Chains A and B, each alone.
Chain A
Amino acid sequence: MAAPILTVQGVSKAFGGIQAVEDCTFDVAPRLITGLIGPNGAGKTTVFNLITGFLRADGGSIRYKGEELLGLHPHEVETRGVVRTFQHLRLWGKMTVLENVLLGCRTPLGDSVVSLFLRPGRVRDEEAAARRRALEVLEFFGLAGRVHEMAEDLAYPEQKLLSMARIFATDAEVLLLDEPTSGLDTDSLGRLVPMVRRLIEHGKTVLLIEHNMELIAQLSDEVVFLHQGRVMARGRAEEITRDPALTEIYFGV
């Protein structure tokens, strides 16, 4: 097996007296889909927040291609190559679909006030390239017909796709998807599941949070089972979902 692209090693996080994540250790293999599952309150989203720098870990280490991510700001984690979606999407609702994806594209010259005024030609070329890239990405996610609509005007399943399109447009290799399937009907699920699979074909690595035990085997290659902030089990998706002990914890039977 290839060396892991992302390694979480002995990471802990307490909120006051509550140990949300404790000595959490797992790794993510490149170009595979790893599912992070566990009952409510297991610490799944906290792990995402720790990896992406939105929370500071109390201890441990999180490495991306060998480089320490702990202590970096969220925008620095993204530029290293790890990007996330949010459970509540956090789209820029009053901006267009195209703009939402353009903001994912890297435009270092256009983002810099100095080059805006001193290198207008280069800025224009960069913007044109970003637009082409954004339109390709929107095409890929089936949103090409919605380019100029406000993000908030999209239907919920399309908003979910847009939140994925936005991070897919970044250069980041590791995509963290926070509950990509929640709130979707069967039809939308049918569209989304193969889409996640195709991210891998485009060279991405996916770590996703999933609640639905039935979907997890369909969605992921490997599974990390989190319970009370600890990793209870790791393995192939089929093994984990068939393990009666884990199912018991999950459903609280």
Chain B
Amino acid sequence: MTAYFAHYLVMVGIYTILATSLNLLVGYSGIFSLAHAAIYGIGAYASALAALKLGLGFWGGLLVAAVVGALAAALVAIPSLRVAGDYYIVASFGLQVVILTVFINWTSFTNGHAGLPGIPRPSLFGLVIDNPFKYVVLSLALAAVTYAICHRLTASAFGRMLRAVREDEIAAQATGKNVVAVKITITTISSALGALAGSLYAHYITYINPTSFTLDESIFITSLVILGGTERLAGPFVGALILLAVPEALKFLAIPDTVAAPMRQILYGALLILFMFVRPEGILGRARTRPAA
């Protein structure tokens, strides 16, 4: 395994966590969020600052990231999810913009555009995770834990309730489900998990700045979910495997960087459009309309 491939797998792990946690909202609950990159960033900044200013270790940082990520989402979810309908997409867009602005402008804390360098590599049980090979294990292990948590949530009465809320909120209320509480709970959990990915990223790259957590990134995470298949837990993992391979594959073609970057965007866009036509349920998704028996 080359370091290059190891790096790819680390990123697959990180994006699997992001997309799997977002899938709880988009796929299972029908809540569209554009703030997942902001939540990712909150996780990254929270654990970076916990390490740099408080000297907290990796696990401590992970915990701080999850708590801060959950709180930020709950703050927006509690007022906006009380209202039925698609208001959350607007509210989450607002959260994305506000958080990114905070990353850029609260310079005494985040160091603005210059970012935060020197984030320590994790040290687990006396073992320093200092190269991509070791990090692959950590990244994929955390992705597996996230998967297990999401699986427990979705393959349960709670998961059934999420889908009922997505399909018909009014029927869910009439059947005794506290729809508002369910939506706030799942948004908070999704964000806590998404923030873990930020922590993992910060300690891996050891340097973060606001450019990693823009609205484009939110849309990219959403496309992983859509491409892989909503309402299939393994969908986001497949989405991450494929979409993260696209820029790597482009590197093998002899195109200059200035062309490759926009070309990547065009490819993502084209892939999404293609999927909407050919397989709207995603690669692993269940076909929605079945032929009449």
Contacts and interface: CB of A to CB of B under 8 A. Distances in A.
Contact of A113 (B160, B176, B189): B189
Interface stretch (A28-36, A70-78, A139-147): A70-78
Contact of B175 (A95, A130, A167): A167
B174 A99 contact: no
A166 B177 CA distance: 13
Given A79-B176, A84-B174, A103-B175, A116 B158 contact: yes
Nearest to A91: B171
A83 B174 contact: yes
A78 B175 contact: yes
A110 B178 contact: no
Given A90-B170, A92-B168, A103-B160, A116 B153 contact: yes
Q: Max chain A CB contacts within 10 Å: which of B161, B171, B178?
A: B171
Interface string A93-127: 11100010011101101111100110000010011
B158 A112 contact: yes
A171 to B, nearest CB: 9
B288 A94 contact: yes
A92 B156 contact: no
B163 A95 contact: yes
Given A113-B189, A116-B152, A103 B172 contact: yes
Given A111-B158, A127-B157, A170 B175 contact: yes
A54 interface: yes
| B interface SS class | helix
B173 interface: yes
Contact of B163 (A83, A92, A117): A92
Interface in A41-84: 52, 54, 73-75, 78-79, 83-84
Contact of B170 (A54, A73, A117, A167): A54
Interface string B243-274: 00000000000000000000000000000000
A75 B168 contact: no
Please list the 10 inter-chain residue pairs (A to B) with the smallest Cβ-Cβ separation, ordered nearest first: A110-B157, A78-B176, A107-B157, A90-B171, A74-B173, A92-B167, A75-B178, A75-B176, A75-B173, A79-B176
Interface of B: 152-153, 156-158, 160-161, 163-164, 167-168, 170-179, 185, 189, 288, 290
